[in-house]
Amino acid sequence: MRSVLTFSAINCFRNCPRKFKHRYIDLLRPVEKAEALAFGDVIHQALERWHTRPADNRRMLEVLALLDAKYPGRDTKATQKSAWHLARAMMMGYVERYAQEEFEVLHAEKQFEAEIRNPDTGRLSQTFTIAGKVDGIVRVGDELYLLEHKTASSLTSDYLDRLWTDTQIALYCFYLRQQGFPIVGVIYNVLLKSRLQQRAGETDAEFEARRTALAAKNKSGKSTAKRQEPESDEQFAARLHEWYTRSEAFHRERIYLSEDRLAMLQEEVWEITQQYLDAKGRGKWLMNTSNCFSYQRPCEYLPYCQSSFNPNVRDNLYQIVPAHEELATAAVAESTDSDF
C-alpha cells in the first residue's frame, strides 16, 4: 500500500529534514499551538460555514454560534476574549463587504488524492500518492479558480508579491486539474487582523500619577482630570466594527498560473520524494539551522533540538499526533514507521 504525501510534508522535508523527522516520523506536535495559527483556523472554519450555508437569516447566526463555541473561556481568559471580539468583528465586516459575491462556490474544503509521476518517464510512483485540501473551488464567469483564505497582520506590496510564490496552492491546482477541475488560477481572500485593543482603564495609582502631573502644569496647582474607565464590550465592539468598514480591511487578489510553473512543480515533487527515500534509507535527517527562525518566530521544535533531543523536553512540550491532521479521512492516518 502506497503512503500519502501532502504539501505540508513536502515543504517540511525541503526546509529541514530533521524537523520532518520530528513531525512525520516521530509524530511529535507541540502541545501549545501558536496563537496566530489557531486564530487562522477559526476564521477558516467560519468562512467555510458562511460560504456553504443557505443564504438566509440564519446563516450569520450559525457563524456567530461557531465563534462563541470556539472561545468558551472568553469570560475569564483575556486572550480568548480578545480573539473572540476580533473574530466576530472580522466576520461581520466580511459579510457586509461581500454582500454580493463575485464568485459561485462549487466546493468548500475540497479534498483530493492524486498520482505522483516521474516527469521524465511518466511512470507512477510505487511509494507515494499526493493528497491535500483546498479552501474552495469557485466559478467566476466561465472560469474555475481555487479560493484561498488568508488572515494577515498587514497588507504590503511584499505580502502580495509573496502570494505568487505560494507553492502549495500552485501544486494543488496542478493535481486538481488531473481530477477534472480546469482551474486557471487562484483568488486569495485576505482578511486583515485589526490591531485595536480593548482599553483597560486606569488603576488608582495610574490615575493619581496622571492627575498629579497635569496639576503640576496648571498655574492653580489643580486638575479636573477624571479617571479613565475600562472600555465596555459594547464600546470595543463598535470600534472594531468601524475599523472593518475601511477599504483596507479586506482584499482579493487574483493570480493566474502558467503551464511552465505547474510542470516545474511536478518535477520538484518527484525529486523530493527521491531525496526522502535516500534519507530514510541511510537514516540521515540533516538539521537546517537557517530554518530555525522564520516568519518572525522560532521553529516549534527549537527547544527539542537545543536540548539535544532530551526525552524530558520531548515529553513535556510535545504530544503524539497522527501525521496529515489537515486531512479528515482516516485512510491517511499513519503509523510511526510509515513513509511521510
Taking 50 as the pLDDT cut, the residues of the chain under it are 329-340
Shared domain check, 157 and 73: no
Shared domain check, 181 and 43: no
Shared domain check, 326 and 261: yes
- What pTM, to 2 d.p., does this model score? 0.80
State how far the Cα of 215 lies from the Cα of 154, in Å rounded to an integer: 40
Q: How many domains does the chain have?
A: 3
CA dihedral sign, ordered 322, 323, 326, 327: negative
Cell readout for 320 is 503524539
Residue 338 is predicted with a pLDDT of 41
In a domain, 174, yes or no: yes
State how far the Cα of 102 lies from the Cα of 293, in Å rounded to an integer: 38
In a domain, 238, yes or no: no
Q: Distances from the Cα of 105 to the Cαs of 62, 69, 176, 187, 255, in angstroms?
A: 18, 25, 16, 12, 18
Cell readout for 146 is 481555487
Shared domain check, 223 and 108: no
Residue 55 is predicted with a pLDDT of 86
Q: Which secondary-structure segment (H or E) carries 318? A: strand 318-320
Residue 316 is predicted with a pLDDT of 94
- The CATH number linked to 26 is 3.90.320
Range of the domain at 283: 3-34+101-194+244-332
Shared domain check, 313 and 265: yes
**Last residue in a domain, options 50, 67, 100:** 100
Residue 333 is predicted with a pLDDT of 32
- Residue in the block written with cell 470600534: 239
Cell readout for 160 is 502580495
Residue 63 is predicted with a pLDDT of 97
35-68 pLDDT per residue, tens: 666 899 999 999 999 999 988 889 999 999 999 9
Residue 335 is predicted with a pLDDT of 33
Shared domain check, 119 and 212: no
Shared domain check, 293 and 254: yes
Shared domain check, 206 and 143: no
Q: Which residues contact 34 (CB under 8 A, 6 or more apart)?
A: 297, 300
Q: Which secondary-structure segment (H or E) carries 124? A: strand 124-140
Residue 204 is predicted with a pLDDT of 74
